[in-house]
């Protein structure tokens, strides 16, 4: 099963580290947006990628578990922005931008910047099965401890 | 390409940042994921460090003020002016007419040499901003436990079963702490957050306690009353390792959870739950920050925290302890180095003649000045009264960070000579006679001590352009004055520190450079592994026992009234840093919060007819500032919040000092809001 960036919103502290890191790694444009309290929004690399389906010049392509963006083919038509259910694609200067899972870093054997930088450990580079197994364990423990939330 | 490990120049957590160097220029950063504290992670400020390194507004040439403005001068000339003017003023008015503000952002070596310069010039008037953040921790915890520092490392929080957080918003100010608190929560720990404002940290809590500002002691005493009444105290620990318990017990006899609830405004059941959970857990930790210290009762607040931990025996083991989170990358180190008006390096009291003379001999003198010096706020008052005639300010921005800052401006105007060393033309530098541009963290080597007592080496990654390091400037000024013959290297100064401060005895440059994790002081000799957890067997007091100091709630001096009906509290936000001198200049940070805002509860906003986004005037009996309204329920009715990163906020705050630690009561003042302006 492929690795992807999986978020644990209950850990996000809305610190914007991922945004600042992403912008630095991508020439000043961040492909992730954080919405307080605690939801970083970015490309989910969908299996049935509607953005790739509507992209008539073929700039967006679903391959090897990722949605690749071939910027040189992008016409700036914005159809992908309309198609994306998460609003995770944006247009800057007549071309589309989206999360590329830090392909330039992975070529060097490094993890995506947002995953490494997240102080709260809310961004995970993991496969879904491992991720959900870990969540089950935490949920079980929390239940067993009987902790409830009080106050606000 | 080479990756050089450095220590982040922002908060006190001490996160490592790798700088990618190509042809002598930093082209990127890398996350050092081997580090046990951070696993490589960095907050937004850490991610934006390169914008600081190559900022176009950085000062590059020394400047002297002349009749028609600033004039650029050579380094030689600038250092001549600094040394000659300091000597002239000392000659004319005596050494105590000089005031020195050291810097919690400079290295251990720079702080050590800076206070040495002040003391060799004949005055103990050397202090720094630790006075404005954690002086009560230094005073209170030293009294109670023997050392004014964090007891356990941050990652040790994962071993806690209950984490009680008071007046700390670490999710914004020390984001890496969140990682370990969340990790603990996932291992079943119970998280309690007490804060008048519903901060991002409060969002992490199992139990949130929105207490009224300035009522921490009532909450803590209420909890202790519950613990005593229900027999939940650790009587074995109290008997074996503490003294003064009877006095504490009798001081709490007439206090109850109901009284605590009345004073704090909390639900009594929540106080009961907090007390029982903290006391019963096998390992409980207390994390606190400036919500505890920045009060006229700051020292008492700290003592109350210590009382609670001692009563339950939650000290000296993994997952327990007290965690005062310190704000600047080297505020712990600057304090350890004796850049404080009342203590010499290693917290040796100035009144301790024997040890003072030992240090004097190390510095080639018979004795050192014997009278304790003036603290940050007292120095400004003395300047205003004309007793201090010259000030040497290294990397501090008191015009923004001092309480009642209008007085600070007047005080600095009265000086005959003011020299400021800084990266930028700060609000304080603009008032100087001489401005000396300095190297930033990446352009110099040296050691920093994090809030955890973790001492780490930061390597020079790039060559500075046009600027000198703080150490070189102090070294050269001292040499021109005739205090020493050579300008020492960071390694040479650290070797002197190894001799001067016993707790740093084994923290040699060689060892620091060889370890990626740093060393925890006390580390008395080169074979000592360092001490991550304090008080395992003994407290650092003369008899090895900790002491209880009973304290009682005192209401804040300034409470809201008809004229100023709101309580003002101040604090920090994620994208900014302290006086904002750096962060307001960093585009990828300041774009999130470019201007001052005020948070107000929707009920109050409706009463005053204020709407989101409009400009409002906030005033206290001392001053006024304009801010943009943010209406939200983070603050309770009657409370407003201002982030103190912007000029003007501290024109409103109170100058009332804690009687022991001399910290100003920043956190509570009365104010009013008026519609006004565009």
pLDDT digits (tens, 9 = 90+) for A87-113: 999 999 889 999 999 999 999 999 999
Helix B470-481 to helix B75-93 angle, to the nearest 10 degrees? 50
Q: Torsion angle, CA of B459/B463/B464/B465, rounded to 10 degrees? A: -170
Q: Which two tokens stand for residue B150?
A: 């964090």
Nearest to A116 among B41, B201, B202 (CB): B41
Q: Are residues B115 and B177 in the same domain?
A: no
Q: Are residues B273 and B291 in the same domain?
A: yes
Q: Are residues B347 and B416 in the same domain?
A: yes
Q: What is the pLDDT of residue B665?
A: 86
Whether the predicted pLDDT of B580 surpasses 90: no
Using an 8 Å CB-CB cutoff, list chain A residues near B175. 13, 15, 17, 119-120
Whether the predicted pLDDT of A36 surpasses 90: no
Please give the model's pTM, rounded to 2 decimal places: 0.93
Q: Are residues B342 and B277 in the same domain?
A: no
Write the pLDDT tens digit of every residue in B147-186. Answer: 999 999 999 999 999 999 999 999 999 999 999 999 999 9
- The share of chain B scoring above pLDDT 70, in percent, equals 100
Residue B512 belongs to some domain of the structure = no
Using an 8 Å CB-CB cutoff, list chain B residues near A119. 38, 41-43, 175-176, 178-179
User: Mutate which of B19, B43, B276, B601 to test chain A, going by most A C-beta atoms within 10 A?
Assistant: B43
Name the band, by pLDDT with cuts 50, 70 and 90, for residue A147: low
Average pLDDT over residues A110-123: 96
CATH topology of domain A4-127: Alpha-Beta Plaits (3.30.70)
To the nearest whole angstrom, how far is the Cα of B43 from the nearest Cα of chain A?
A: 5
Name the band, by pLDDT with cuts 50, 70 and 90, for residue B551: very high
CA B253 vs CA B247, B248, B272, B573: distances in Å: 10, 9, 17, 40
Calpha distance A24→A18 (Å, rounded) = 10
Q: Are residues B239 and B312 in the same domain?
A: yes
The enclosing domain of B382 has a CATH number of 3.40.50.740
Q: Are residues B339 and B320 in the same domain?
A: no
Q: What is the pLDDT of residue A148?
A: 60
The enclosing domain of B645 has a CATH number of 2.40.40.20
Using an 8 Å CB-CB cutoff, list chain A residues near B180. none
Nearest to B207 among A20, A24, A150 (CB): A150
Calpha distance B15→A123 (Å, rounded) = 19
Q: Which two tokens stand for residue B326?
A: 């310190």
Whether the predicted pLDDT of A149 surpasses 80: no
Residue B154 belongs to some domain of the structure = yes
Write the pLDDT tens digit of every residue in B568-577. Answer: 999 999 999 8
Average pLDDT over residues B247-275: 97
Q: Which two tokens stand for residue B122?
A: 């004949």
Q: Which residues contact B593 (CB under 8 A, 6 or more apart)?
A: B573, B575, B576, B643, B645
Check if the beta carbon of residue A35 is closer than 8 Å to that of residue A42.
no
Name the band, by pLDDT with cuts 50, 70 and 90, for residue B404: confident
Q: Does B11 touch chain A (CB under 8 A)?
A: no
Name the band, by pLDDT with cuts 50, 70 and 90, for residue B664: confident
- Which of B468, B487, B506 terminates a domain? The answer is B487
Average pLDDT over residues B229-258: 97
Whether the predicted pLDDT of A151 surpasses 70: no
Q: What is the pLDDT of residue B201?
A: 95
Q: Are residues B364 and B275 in the same domain?
A: no
The enclosing domain of B19 has a CATH number of 2.20.25.90
Task: Write down the mean pLDDT value for chain B.
Answer: 94
Residue B168 belongs to some domain of the structure = yes
Q: Does A118 touch chain B (CB under 8 A)?
A: yes
Name the band, by pLDDT with cuts 50, 70 and 90, for residue B292: very high
Q: What is the pLDDT of residue B548?
A: 98
Q: What is the pLDDT of residue B650?
A: 86
Q: Are residues B265 and B144 in the same domain?
A: yes
Task: Write down the mean pLDDT value for chain A.
Answer: 91
Pairing of strands B417-422, B390-394: parallel
Whether the predicted pLDDT of B431 surpasses 70: yes
Residue B633: closest CA among chain A residues belongs to which residue? A152
Q: Are residues B313 and B436 in the same domain?
A: no
CA A81 vs CA A68, B71, B400, B413: distances in Å: 15, 54, 44, 57
Q: Are residues B149 and B285 in the same domain?
A: yes
Whether the predicted pLDDT of B351 surpasses 80: yes
Q: What is the pLDDT of residue B660?
A: 87
Phi, psi of B262 (to 5 degrees): -65, -45
Check if the beta carbon of residue B11 is closer than 8 Å to that of residue B575.
no
Q: What is the pLDDT of residue A150?
A: 56
Q: B327: cis peptide before it, omega within 30°?
A: no
Q: What is the pLDDT of residue A3?
A: 87
Residue B8 belongs to some domain of the structure = yes
Q: Which of B384, B220, B403 is nearest to B312 (CA)?
A: B220
To the nearest whole angstrom, how far is the Cα of B655 from the nearest Cα of chain A?
A: 32
Q: Which of B180, B183, B208, B190 is nearest to B284 (CA)?
A: B190
Q: Are residues B464 and B397 in the same domain?
A: yes
Q: Does B592 touch chain A (CB under 8 A)?
A: yes
Q: Which of B221, B390, B411, B233 is nearest to B297 (CA)?
A: B221
A residues 9-48 closer than 8 Å to B (CB): 11, 13-17, 19-21, 23-24, 36-38
Whether the predicted pLDDT of B188 surpasses 60: yes
Q: Which residues contact B448 (CB under 8 A, 6 or more apart)?
A: B7, B14, B107, B108, B329, B330, B333, B455, B456, B458
Name the band, by pLDDT with cuts 50, 70 and 90, for residue B66: very high
Calpha distance A110→A103 (Å, rounded) = 9
ipTM attached to this prediction: 0.92
Percentages (nearest 5) of helix, strand, coil residues in chain B: 35, 20, 45
Average pLDDT over residues B657-671: 87
Write the pLDDT tens digit of every residue in A62-86. Answer: 998 899 999 999 999 999 999 999 9
Whether the predicted pLDDT of B642 surpasses 60: yes
Are B270 and A113 inside 8 Å of each other by CB? Answer: no
Q: What is the pLDDT of residue B581?
A: 80
Average pLDDT over residues B495-512: 97
Q: What is the pLDDT of residue B358?
A: 96
Name the band, by pLDDT with cuts 50, 70 and 90, for residue A140: confident
Residue B504 belongs to some domain of the structure = no
Q: Are residues B304 and B275 in the same domain?
A: yes
- The strand pairing partners of B420, in sequence order, are B393, B435
Check if the beta carbon of residue A121 is closer than 8 Å to that of residue B182.
yes
Are B208 and A15 inside 8 Å of each other by CB? Answer: no
Calpha distance B581→B568 (Å, rounded) = 23
CA B670 vs CA B371, B479, B623: distances in Å: 36, 49, 11
Write the pLDDT tens digit of every residue in B438-482. Answer: 999 999 999 999 999 999 999 999 999 999 999 999 999 999 999
B495 dihedral zone (left: phi>0; alpha: psi -120 to 50; beta) = alpha
Name the band, by pLDDT with cuts 50, 70 and 90, for residue B403: confident
To the nearest whole angstrom, how far is the Cα of B250 from the nearest Cα of chain A?
A: 31
Average pLDDT over residues B354-372: 96
Q: What are the structural domain ranges in chain A? A: 4-127
Whether the predicted pLDDT of A152 surpasses 60: no
Name the band, by pLDDT with cuts 50, 70 and 90, for residue B84: very high
B residues 298-317 closer than 8 Å to A (CB): none
Q: What is the DSSP track for A35-91?
A: ETTTEEE-----TT-HHHHH-TT--EEEETTEEEE-GGG-----HHHHH-TT---EE
Number of domains in chain B: 4
Write the pLDDT tens digit of every residue in B5-40. Answer: 999 999 999 999 999 999 999 999 999 999 999 999
Name the band, by pLDDT with cuts 50, 70 and 90, for residue B327: confident
Write the pLDDT tens digit of every residue in B99-136. Answer: 999 999 999 999 999 999 999 999 999 999 888 878 89
Phi, psi of B384 (to 5 degrees): -65, -35
- The share of chain B scoring above pLDDT 90, in percent, equals 88
Q: Which domain holds residue B574?
A: 566-675
Whether the predicted pLDDT of B216 surpasses 60: yes
């Amino acid at each position: 099963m492929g690795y992807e960036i999986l978020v644990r919103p209950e850990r996000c502290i809305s610190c914007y580290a991922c945004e600042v890191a992403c912008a630095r790694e991508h020439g000043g444009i961040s492909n992730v947006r954080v919405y307080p309290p605690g939801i970083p929004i970015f490309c989910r690399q969908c299996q049935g990628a509607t953005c790739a389906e509507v992209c008539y010049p073929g700039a967006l392509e679903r391959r090897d578990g990722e949605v690749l963006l071939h910027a040189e083919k992008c016409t700036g038509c914005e159809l992908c922005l309309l198609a994306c259910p998460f609003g995770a694609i944006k247009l800057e200067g007549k071309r589309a931008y989206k999360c590329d899972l830090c392909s330039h870093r992975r070529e060097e054997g490094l993890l995506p910047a947002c995953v490494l930088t997240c102080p709260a450990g809310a961004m995970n580079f993991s496969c879904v099965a491992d991720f959900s197994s870990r969540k089950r364990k935490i949920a079980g423990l929390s239940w067993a401890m009987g902790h409830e939330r009080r106050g606000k | 390409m080479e990756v050089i490990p450095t220590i982040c120049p922002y908060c006190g957590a001490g996160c490592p940042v790798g700088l990618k160097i190509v042809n002598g220029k930093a082209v990127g950063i890398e996350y050092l994921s081997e580090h046990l504290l951070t696993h490589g992670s960095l907050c937004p400020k850490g991610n934006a460090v390169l914008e600081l390194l190559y900022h176009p507004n950085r000062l590059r040439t020394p400047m002297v003020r002349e009749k028609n403005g600033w004039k650029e001068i050579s380094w030689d000339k600038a250092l001549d002016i600094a040394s000659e003017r300091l000597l002239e003023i000392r000659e004319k008015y005596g050494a105590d007419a000089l005031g020195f503000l050291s810097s919690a952002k400079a290295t251990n070596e720079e702080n050590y040499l800076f206070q040495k310069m002040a003391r060799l010039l004949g005055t103990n008037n050397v202090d720094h901003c630790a006075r404005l953040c954690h002086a009560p921790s230094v005073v209170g915890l030293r009294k109670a436990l023997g050392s004014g520092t964090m007891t356990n490392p941050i990652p040790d929080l994962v071993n806690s079963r209950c984490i009680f957080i008071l007046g700390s918003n670490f999710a914004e100010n020390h984001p890496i702490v969140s990682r370990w608190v969340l990790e603990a929560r996932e291992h079943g720990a119970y998280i309690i957050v007490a804060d008048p404002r519903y901060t991002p940290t409060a969002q992490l809590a199992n139990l949130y306690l929105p207490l009224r500002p300035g009522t921490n002691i009532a909450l803590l005493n209420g909890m202790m009353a519950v613990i005593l009444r229900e027999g939940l105290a650790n009587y074995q620990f109290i008997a074996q390792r503490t003294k003064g318990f009877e006095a504490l017990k009798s001081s709490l006899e007439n206090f109850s959870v109901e009284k605590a609830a009345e004073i704090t405004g909390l639900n009594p059941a929540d106080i009961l739950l907090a007390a029982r959970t903290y006391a019963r857990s096998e390992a409980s930790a207390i994390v606190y920050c400036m919500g505890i210290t920045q009060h006229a009762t700051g020292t008492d607040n700290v003592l109350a925290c210590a009382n609670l931990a001692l009563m339950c025996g939650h000290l000296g083991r993994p997952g327990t302890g007290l965690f005062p989170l310190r704000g600047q990358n080297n505020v712990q180190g600057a304090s350890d180095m004796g850049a404080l008006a009342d203590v010499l390096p290693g917290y040796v009291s100035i009144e301790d003649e024997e040890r003072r003379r030992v240090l004097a001999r190390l510095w080639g003198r018979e004795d050192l000045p014997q009278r304790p010096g003036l603290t940050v706020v007292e120095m400004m008052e003395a300047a205003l009264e004309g007793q201090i005639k010259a000030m040497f300010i290294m990397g501090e921005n008191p015009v923004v960070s001092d309480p009642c800052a209008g007085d600070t401006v007047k005080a600095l105007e009265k000086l005959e000579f003011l020299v400021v060393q800084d990266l930028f033309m700060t609000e304080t530098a603009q008032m100087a006679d001489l401005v000396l541009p300095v190297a930033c963290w990446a352009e110099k080597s040296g050691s920093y001590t994090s809030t955890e007592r973790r001492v780490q080496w930061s390597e020079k990654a790039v060559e500075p352009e046009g600027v000198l390091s703080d150490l070189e400037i102090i070294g050269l000024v001292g040499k021109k004055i005739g205090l020493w013959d050579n300008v020492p290297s960071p390694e040479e100064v650290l070797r002197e520190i190894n001799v001067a401060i016993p707790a740093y005895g084994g923290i040699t440059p060689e060892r620091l450079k060889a370890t990626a994790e740093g060393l925890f002081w006390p580390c008395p000799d080169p074979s000592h592994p360092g001490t991550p957890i304090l008080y395992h067997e003994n407290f650092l007091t003369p008899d090895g026992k900790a002491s209880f100091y009973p304290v009682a709630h005192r209401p804040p001096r300034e409470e809201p009234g008809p004229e100023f009906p709101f309580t003002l509290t101040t604090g920090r936000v994620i994208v900014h840093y302290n006086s904002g001198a750096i962060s307001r200049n960093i585009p990828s940070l300041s774009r999130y919060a470019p201007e001052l805002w005020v948070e107000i509860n929707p009920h109050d906003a409706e009463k005053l007819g204020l709407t989101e986004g409009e400009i409002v005037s906030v005033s206290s009996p001392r001053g006024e500032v304009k801010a943009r309204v943010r209406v939200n329920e983070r603050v309770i009715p009657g409370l407003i919040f201002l982030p103190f990163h912007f000029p003007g906020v501290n024109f409103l705050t109170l100058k009332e000092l804690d009687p022991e630690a001399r910290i100003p009561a920043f956190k509570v003042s009365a104010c009013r809001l008026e519609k006004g302006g565009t």
